[in-house]
Structure 1
Amino acid sequence: MMDLPNEMSHEPLPQIYSNKFLEQSIQFHRTRGCNVRLSSNKCVAERNSNHYSQGYVFTNRPLAIGEKIVLQILRTDEMFTGSLAFGLTSCNPNFLNVADLPEDSHHLLDRREYWTVIKDVANSPMAGDEIAFTITESGEVIMTKNRQRSITLMHVDISQNLWGFFDLY
């Protein structure tokens, strides 16, 4: 149920976390679901409010161990009851055929590459919410919402490069 506004919005951008591991900021990859529009700087994603599915966005590069990525919810869509799914994959989005993306992100688990996904990670997100994700050295994926207590979402195989992805619904 996520509808993120375009870059022309005067909404505040996510807080900036210093990253001692990488100098390069993370953006969304150009590969995306057919119902998502990206801003020209690839930092804001907006789901087509007339469609519930195909709201996939991927990170533009693999995530580093210890790196914190922060997503800020700029706006939600009241038309659909939904949330936000978060996952990790070994599938490089450069080689992903958008036509192969399923309607339901749970079906990504049937693909041959390594995929993990957790639905409804944000628990009814609201405009202004900030959700942060980090992969630890032990493969634990930690999430915090609005700087509250962190929770463990899953454990992943860190022996391979992992791109983050979101399903905005």
Structure 2
Amino acid sequence: MSCSLCPTDAEVPREAREALSFHGDATGTQVHLDDQRSTAHRLSTFHDGIVFSQRPVWPGERVALRVLRQEDGWCGGLRVGFTRLDPANVAASCLPPFVCPDLEEQSPTWAALLPEGFVRAGNVVCFWVNRRGWLYAKVNAGRPLLLRKDVLVQGAPLWAVMDVYGTTKAIELLGETILGVPMYGMETEFQLASQS
């Protein structure tokens, strides 16, 4: 008996087939979005760079982005994850300066810092959560890294959340997402040690 780990087209809501862009209103105070809402650029400082997807993301759906620009002089970089916080109900002025730990403490949000090698200009980063609630990321054609295991995927929609933080100055959502099969069996082999 076989079991499908990937949702079929019939199971995927219509909005999950829509290309991803950034939510146009719920952004950190230092974020500038381009007219297509595909590029997020942090104007100054190293914080206040929170951005959300414009629609919920399905478990197993890969969110792909390109790091466009880095800025020296800061520590840390891009954070990625998922939230149950609907950005349509968030006033930009109410967003905290950081996704980790501030937004995580204020709402059901699960995010993680990407390793420094992931956030170099030109790199393509994909991140996703599987049906077990395990958050993964990978860069270019590299191996997936398990970032955390505690995302609540049942009971409410999840939006992608990114924090254009620290050395990461600008990112571009690559629009089309990929519905993929969670990589069971390889999950523990590529775990990322927890970082503070």
Which TM-score tier does this pair reach, normalised by the shorter chain? Answer: 0.7 to 0.9
2:45: which partner in 1? 51
Unmatched 5+ stretches in structure 1: 1-19
Give unpaired runs (5+ residues) of structure 2.
1-8, 166-196
Mapped to 1, the partners of 2:157 and 2:145 lie a distance apart of 23
Letter in 1 for 2:19: S
> For 1:29, what is the secondary structure of its paired residue?
coil
Runs (4 or more) in structure 1 with deviation over 4 Å come to: none
Does residue 166 (structure 1) correspond to residue 159 (structure 2)? The answer is no
Query: Counterpart of 2:116 in structure 1: which amino acid?
Result: N
- Gap change, CA 1:128 and 1:98, over 3 Å in 2: same
Residue-pair matches, total: 148
The 1-side partners of 2:115 and 2:40 are apart by 16
Structure 2 residue 93 is the aligned partner of structure 1 residue 99? yes
More helix by share: 2
2:40 maps to a residue whose letter is A
Distance 1:142 1:87 in 2: 9
3-state SS of paired residue (1:116): strand
- Please report how far the alpha carbon of residue 55 of structure 1 lies from its aligned counterpart in structure 2 after TM superposition: 0.5
For residue 34 of structure 1, what is the aligned residue in structure 2? 29
- Give the distance between the partners of 2:37 and 2:83, measured in 1 at CA: 20
| Corresponding residue to 1:66 among 60, 64, 69 | 60
Give, in angstroms, the shift of residue 122 of structure 1.
Answer: 4.0
> In structure 2, what is the equivalent of residue 137 of structure 1?
131
Mean CA deviation greater in 91-100 or 20-29: 20-29
Kept after mapping to 2: 8 A contact 1:122/1:145 = no
Q: Deviations over 1:31-71 (max 9, x none)?
A: 100101001111111111x3211011101111112211111
Q: Secondary structure at the match of 2:102?
A: helix
Separation in 1 of the partners of 2:136 and 2:76? 21
1:91-116 per-residue CA deviation (whole Å, 9 max, x = no partner) reads 100111222222232111221x3111
Structure 1 Cα separation of the partners of residues 98 and 135 of structure 2: 22
Let me know the Cα RMSD of the aligned residues: 1.8
Matched, 1:116 2:98: no
What SS does the aligned partner of 2:104 have?
Answer: helix
Match of 1:15 in 2: none
Conservation of the 8 A alpha-carbon contact between 2:50 and 2:98? no
Paired residue secondary structure (1:73)? strand
**Correspondent of 1:153 among 147, 157, 169:** 147
